[in-house]
Amino acid sequence: MARYLLIIDQGTTRTRASVMDQAGTLIGATEVAVATATPQVGWFEQDALEIWRSVQRAMTDVLLNTSVSPAELASIGITNQRETTIVWDRKTGQPIHAAISWRSNQSAAIAARITTKTEQTLVQRKTGLPVNAYFSASKIRWLLEQVPGALAKAQAGELLFGTVDTWLIWQLTQGAAHVTDVTNASRTLLFDIHQLKWDAELLQLFALPSAILPTVYPSTNTTLQTAAAVTFGRQIPITAIIGDQQASLVGQDCLTKGKVKTTYGTGTFLMFNTGTKALATTQTELLTTLAYQTAGQVPTYALEGTILTAGATIKWLQETLAFFATAAESEYLATKSLAATDLYIVPAIADMGTANVAKGAVFGLTQTTNRSQLTRATWETMAYQTSDLLAAIQKITGVKALELHMDGPAARNRYLQQFQADILGIPVLPANDYQDSAALGAGFLAGMATGYFKNFDHLEQLAKQIKPIKPQLSTKIRQEKLIGWQQAVAAARKFKPKKR
């Protein structure tokens, strides 16, 4: 009897497979590392076949570890790193090149070809996104231009494009399904998020043939099935597909307008549910995006803020400066430094969609500044950046967030939890037991499509949170700290070193 859901969460550095029961609890998970290559500075690539092998291994291991048999699986939910771009041969199934990671800038010169205000406005109006190499369209074009013969093959319909979800479903179905969902499609610069379809003008702008594009589904469906030869000798429905940050929104119980979550990882991703209305924004740090769409329903939209350098700053302290060996030690150092300081660390800034960049800087150094204080200030930087994003979103929406849901590896840091609440002046709710919120979200949607979970009200009951962490700073001190941060950022932006 089918009693469980299998969840594939394919991320930038690892693939995780989880099993969820009918109570919405993750009863087991297995993780497999995935490597990233850096052929040049700023270029990030991954082996698409290695990604698929990591999924196969993770699925097998999690079933063995939980003693769940394939016959007990009701359906599969998939969540994935977004924007990462793969192009492969329709007949052979072989990638024509390594997967181009979401964070790679190797197609920046192609994105820079979109120069006129009319073109940029067209893209922003239809997709909710700025023209940037971060998204998939310029990455696809780069592949077609760099790989000999690829452009002609694409025009002849011999090549297929997909983000990671599309690639995995192609493998799971042995090439029977070339599909994606609205959330992943919305991150390509080729999808009209209002009309919910691929857009001919956008394809023409990037000079891409429509034949390479997958069919777009809602985030839940009941029509896809794996190939029995791939999934342990039996066909299993694939009932949910959703990008990882959107899945985290669902898993964090941000299912109604005005709820907001932030995920602290290599970067930080803040997402604010705007309901069934897509709110346009011209602010470079914010994006309009699809949050999710269940089958037969109108989609839900969100405003998203992205901080490209967040947890990476902690990694810099750990690996480059050797301040500490483990994340737990960094938490100890942050809490050890209890003396109040006016120390601010501004990471290198690169606003998405603009040339507005700044070198990193440290402000407030004195002869007594120590390792603990610098560690503490680095954690505080993540909270300050999140505060900036939330303030920008609240200005657009006119809605004040009453609480912030938080997840991701860095969200386990208790100093960050408390300081984030302090600097926002609202409670924060870390993910329950630090479970993978993206996996929870994909599992909730898969279970809803399967019939295990009735509706969003049911999901809200499943997505339980731990006790809220309340702010402790006075309004006066909070404002003083925010003013100091804003002054530090402004000073960093003014620094323009000479080019040599």
248-298, pLDDT tens digit by residue?
999 888 888 989 999 887 678 899 999 998 888 776 678 899 999 999 999
Instruction: Decide if 286 contacts 396 (C-beta within 8 A).
Output: yes
Assign 352 a pLDDT band (cuts: 50, 70, 90): very low
DSSP string, 410-463: GGG-HHHHHHHHHHHTS-EEEBGGG--HHHHHHHHHHHHHHTSS-SHHHHHHHS
Please, are residues 38 and 44 in contact by the beta-carbon 8 Å criterion? Answer: yes
Q: Which residue has the higher pLDDT, 376 or 485?
A: 485
Q: Mean pLDDT, to the nearest integer, of 69-93?
A: 95
- Structure letter (DSSP) for residue 346: E
What domains does the chain contain, in order, with CATH numbers? Answer: 4-252 (3.30.420.40), 254-430+470-500 (3.30.420.40)
* pLDDT tens per residue, range 189-246: 999 999 999 999 999 999 999 999 999 999 999 899 999 999 999 999 999 999 999 9
Confidence band for 322, pLDDT divided at 50, 70 and 90 = low
With residue 409 as reference, give the H or E element that holds it.
none
**Long-range residue pairs from 326-335, CB within 8 A, at least 24 positions apart, any chain:** 327/409, 327/410, 327/412, 327/413, 330/375, 330/379, 330/413, 331/413, 331/414, 331/415, 333/371, 333/372, 333/375, 333/376, 334/372, 334/375, 334/376, 334/379, 334/413, 334/415, 334/416, 335/376, 335/414, 335/415
Q: Per residue in 4-53, pLDDT tens? A: 999 999 998 899 999 999 888 889 999 999 999 999 888 999 999 999 99
Half-sphere exposure for 73 (CA within 13 Å, toward CB): 31
> Closest by alpha carbon to 220, among 456, 463, 458, 457?
456
Q: Which helix (H) or strand (E) holds 234?
A: none
Q: Quick one: pLDDT band at residue 401, thresholds 50, 70, 90?
A: confident
- Cβ neighbours around 337 below 10 Å, total: 20
Cβ atoms within 10 Å of 94's Cβ, excluding its own: 9
If one counts every other C-beta atom within 10 angstroms of the C-beta of residue 256, the result is 11
Beta-bridge partners for 100: 45, 85
Question: In sequence order, what are the residues at sequence separation of 6 or more whose Cβ sits closer than 8 angstroms to the Cβ of residue 149?
Answer: none
Is pLDDT of 454 > 70?
yes
H or E segment and range at residue 197: strand 197-198
- Rounded distance, CA 347 to CA 300, Å? 33
pLDDT tens digits for 323-345?
A: 776 766 666 666 776 666 788 88
Report whether pLDDT(319) > 80: no
| Mean pLDDT (whole number) for 164-187 | 97
How do strand 349-350 and strand 357-358 relate by DSSP bridges?
Answer: antiparallel
Q: Name every residue whose Cβ is closer than 8 Å to that of residue 367 and which is 6 or more positions away in sequence.
A: none
Contacts with 253 (C-beta within 8 Å, 6 or more apart), sequence order: 259, 405, 459, 460, 463, 465
Q: What is the mean pLDDT of the chain?
A: 87
pLDDT at 280: 80
How far is Cα 299 from Cα 293, in angstroms, rounded to an integer?
4
Residue 356's pLDDT is 45
What letter represents residue 446's amino acid?
Answer: A
Closest by CA position to 433, among listed 29, 76, 73: 29
